[in-house]
Amino acid sequence: MSLYHEAAEFLLAPTSDGGSLKARVFKKKGLKSPPNQLYALVLETCKWSVVLKDVIERAELLKLERKLTPALSLLLTHDLLLAKGGIALPQSHGLRQSVERHKGRLTSELTLARLRRKSASAEQLREQVERASAGEEANIPRWVRVNALKSSVEDQLKTTFAAYKRTTELQEVIRSLPSKAGGATRLVYIDPHVPNLLAVTQGTDLTKTDAYAAGKIILQDKASCFPAYLLDPRSEDGDVVDACAAPGNKTTHLAAVLHGHRPDFESAPQTIFAFEKDSRRAQTLEKMVRIAGSRKQTVIAPGQDFLQVDPEADKYKDVGLLLLDPSCSGSGIVGRDSMPELHLPDAFDKQSQGKGVQPPKNGQTARKRKHGEVEKGEKEASQNVLIDDEGNETVVNSSKDLQARLEALSSFQLIILLHAFKFPSAKRITYSTCSVHAEENERVVMKALQSDIARSRGWRILRRDDQVSGLRDWDVRGLPEECGGDTEIAEGCIRSHKGDGRGVMGFFVAGFVRSGGDADGRGGGGDDDDEGPYLRDVEGRIVRDQLGMPVLKSTGGPVTLIARDESDEEDDSSGGTSDDQATDEIEEDEWDGFGD
């Protein structure tokens, strides 16, 4: 079967058959064509179908070539007029000839279609098509976290984004489109909430940049950066746990925040324990941590279920902070199925007879139809597929199914949170999901706060006033009605909504702190320890001796100076050079999709 026949099948299949286009193409067994090529062809044809339908109908292609189906005519015309290499079939191939012999007519119809759309150039028409097909992704810029372990915002503005124009308006970035003619329309914006975060014009493949290959930039949605920033790990906080770590966006962010908070004196080494139950995903985590330059301080436990970890074990005795980002419904993720609306040209019999919709022939339809819309007879009932943040698909036929799925997820999420409460020295925890459902968010928080373990160990919500400044200023908060009307808890919860103009995905994060030791009188952080081991003045500044060394609460004396050995801080690059990082590229979906 040719590339075009395989592509036609995907073009016409309802999206409810197995999730996103990407998932459907890449998971399909026995394909003859390379999945990358197939995916690009179907997606691009779909984007252009609104223009190409017009071109094909006006050129009467289906009247002149009776053997061509509407789907094949779209795919072949797309490649003939818009693909660099033209139609990917031998010159003598019948399908190729059936379209190529009308090249003159089709080309002039494309020009006329462009002029009808008031586009001054082919480039402008392309921009129009991109914008029209972008769906909910049209409201999102490309978020780029500059990895403080390897680079800085200043560095990146001078290098990777040197051709970009600075703007202070996020909306301008969202509306901008890359121009092939130059960098004039490519914009960069420095985020005011999360340190080291940039928003840039969508549409440029940043995974091809040196900075990406070298781990200097990480493609991560803004909201996905909230948990590590909210947890705010510092040198005095001890070890850190990332309980559900792959693919590693937040693990590497934790390392970067820690690095940014390094005191100017030698402090105890800190370990990030990164647990990941799924061994395959743990490999991606390993790769990401290595590329990001934090492999040395991260202990990865591949295949390790966090719930099987003993909080009382000696090696976790110094764990002061935990980041929990468990599996969730993924309902806040933007662009899970980014397939644009398909516009099929009318079949010839309809065009000539002008008699309304003709019955579909051979799986073709004779009218515009939306993806996922199923012709009667093709399938009895349409199914909805819920794709979670790990890409797993669950068929959800009714609201009852959805409720059952949410119940299962939220019970697991609560168990993870209660398990984290048990770590004896823990003093701060963040809990996050990329779900929009209160069942997985505020309701889990409320149940956790009401649990026996929370009460006995003194866990409470991290109040808005006590949060890091960027998130204190973020004004989208939890739902009071889901927090039993408790505004302190609702205000402590942080939400983000897709499509609200802030350019982010749907997300939720809450922080927990301990306000006392546990029933056994064991340490814990609590208010007394919130400020860490150093003496602070009334304004919260660390008290220093005459030489500028911080004074320890425990001894009343200054910290002993040990020269920092810079060589210890070198990246662990032994695992891979930037060359192999470039070829060994992490799939973008995994890089920023699951965890977002």
What sign has the CA pseudo-torsion 531, 492, 228, 281? Answer: positive
Amino acid at 318: D
Question: For ligand SAM, which is the closer residue by CB, 254 or 344?
Answer: 254
What sign has the CA pseudo-torsion 168, 169, 173, 179? Answer: negative
- From 46, 225, 328, 434, active-site residue: 434
In the complex, the smallest distance separating the C-beta of residue 78 from ligand SAM, rounded to whole angstroms, is 35
Check whether 533 is labelled as a binding-site residue. Answer: no
Annotation marks residue 225 as catalytic = no
Check whether 250 is labelled as a binding-site residue. Answer: yes
In the complex, the smallest distance separating the C-beta of residue 322 from ligand SAM, rounded to whole angstroms, is 12
Question: For ligand SAM, which is the closer residue by CB, 96 or 145?
Answer: 145
Question: For ligand SAM, which is the closer residue by CB, 328 or 449?
Answer: 328
Q: Should residue 147 be labelled a site residue for ligand SAM when binding is judged by CB under 6 A?
A: no
Q: Should residue 496 be labelled a site residue for ligand SAM when binding is judged by CB under 6 A?
A: no
Check whether 276 is labelled as a binding-site residue. Answer: yes
What are the helix (H) ranges across 273-398? 279-292, 348-353
Question: For ligand SAM, which is the closer residue by CB, 149 or 244?
Answer: 244
Check whether 325 is labelled as a binding-site residue. Answer: yes
Check whether 247 is labelled as a binding-site residue. Answer: yes
Q: Should residue 462 be labelled a site residue for ligand SAM when binding is judged by CB under 6 A?
A: no
In the complex, the smallest distance separating the C-beta of residue 244 from ligand SAM, rounded to whole angstroms, is 3
Q: Should residue 594 be labelled a site residue for ligand SAM when binding is judged by CB under 6 A?
A: yes
In the complex, the smallest distance separating the C-beta of residue 421 from ligand SAM, rounded to whole angstroms, is 15
Q: Should residue 595 be labelled a site residue for ligand SAM when binding is judged by CB under 6 A?
A: yes
- 285 in Cβ contact with 179 (< 8 Å): no
- CA pair distance 578, 256, nearest whole angstrom: 19
Mention every residue, 6+ apart, whose C-beta is less than 8 A from residue 45: 7, 11, 52, 74, 75, 78
Q: Should residue 459 be labelled a site residue for ligand SAM when binding is judged by CB under 6 A?
A: no
With CB under 6 A as the contact rule, which of the stretches 158-166, 241-249, 314-322, 453-461 interacts with ligand SAM?
241-249
In the complex, the smallest distance separating the C-beta of residue 284 from ligand SAM, rounded to whole angstroms, is 9
559: alpha, beta or left? (left if phi > 0; alpha if psi -120 to 50): beta
| Of 555, 512, 513, 519, nearest in space to 531 by CA | 513
Site for ligand SAM in 355-394 (CB under 6 A): 389-390
For residue 62, CA distances in Å to 11, 89, 177 come to 18, 20, 34
With CB under 6 A as the contact rule, which of the stretches 75-83, 171-179, 277-285, 292-300 interacts with ligand SAM?
277-285
Tally of residues, the chain: 596
- 559 in Cβ contact with 549 (< 8 Å): yes
SS3 489: helix
Q: Should residue 437 be labelled a site residue for ligand SAM when binding is judged by CB under 6 A?
A: no
Count, residues near ligand SAM per rule CB under 6 A: 23
Looking at 70, 178, 302, 326, which residue binds ligand SAM (CB under 6 A)?
326
Check whether 278 is labelled as a binding-site residue. Answer: no
- CA pair distance 547, 452, nearest whole angstrom: 47
In the complex, the smallest distance separating the C-beta of residue 471 from ligand SAM, rounded to whole angstroms, is 17
Looking at 60, 155, 278, 349, which residue binds ligand SAM (CB under 6 A)?
278
Longest dimension (CA), the chain: 94
- CA pair distance 297, 274, nearest whole angstrom: 10
Phi and psi at 533, nearest 5°, equal: -85, -5
Amino acid at 352: S
- CA pair distance 285, 246, nearest whole angstrom: 5
Site for ligand SAM in 284-323 (CB under 6 A): 305-307
Check whether 249 is labelled as a binding-site residue. Answer: yes
Looking at 232, 276, 286, 482, which residue binds ligand SAM (CB under 6 A)?
276
- CA pair distance 385, 502, nearest whole angstrom: 27
Phi and psi at 396, nearest 5°, equal: -120, 105
Q: What is the CA radius of gyration of the chain?
A: 27
Report the half-sphere exposure of 337 (CA within 13 A, side-chain side). Answer: 23
With CB under 6 A as the contact rule, which of the stretches 74-82, 171-179, 273-281, 464-472 interacts with ligand SAM?
273-281
Q: Should residue 244 be labelled a site residue for ligand SAM when binding is judged by CB under 6 A?
A: yes
β-strand 319-324 against 494-496: which pairing, if any?
unpaired
Q: How many separate helices (H) and strands (E) can be counted in the chain?
A: 23, 15
Strand partners, 542: 536
Question: For ligand SAM, which is the closer residue by CB, 215 or 550?
Answer: 215
Looking at 143, 273, 275, 474, which residue binds ligand SAM (CB under 6 A)?
275
Q: Should residue 431 be labelled a site residue for ligand SAM when binding is judged by CB under 6 A?
A: no
Q: Which residue is nearest to ligand SAM (CB)?
A: 595
Strand partners, 460: 513
In the complex, the smallest distance separating the C-beta of residue 531 from ligand SAM, rounded to whole angstroms, is 28
Question: For ligand SAM, which is the closer residue by CB, 78 or 253?
Answer: 253
Check whether 246 is labelled as a binding-site residue. Answer: yes
CA dihedral of 174, 177, 178, 180, whole degrees rounded to 10: -170
Amino acid at 432: S
Q: Should residue 588 be labelled a site residue for ligand SAM when binding is judged by CB under 6 A?
A: no
Question: For ligand SAM, which is the closer residue by CB, 157 or 415?
Answer: 415
Looking at 70, 233, 248, 511, which residue binds ligand SAM (CB under 6 A)?
248
In the complex, the residues that contact ligand SAM under the rule CB under 6 A are 224, 244-250, 275-278, 281, 305-307, 325-327, 389-390, 594-595
Active site residues per annotation: 434
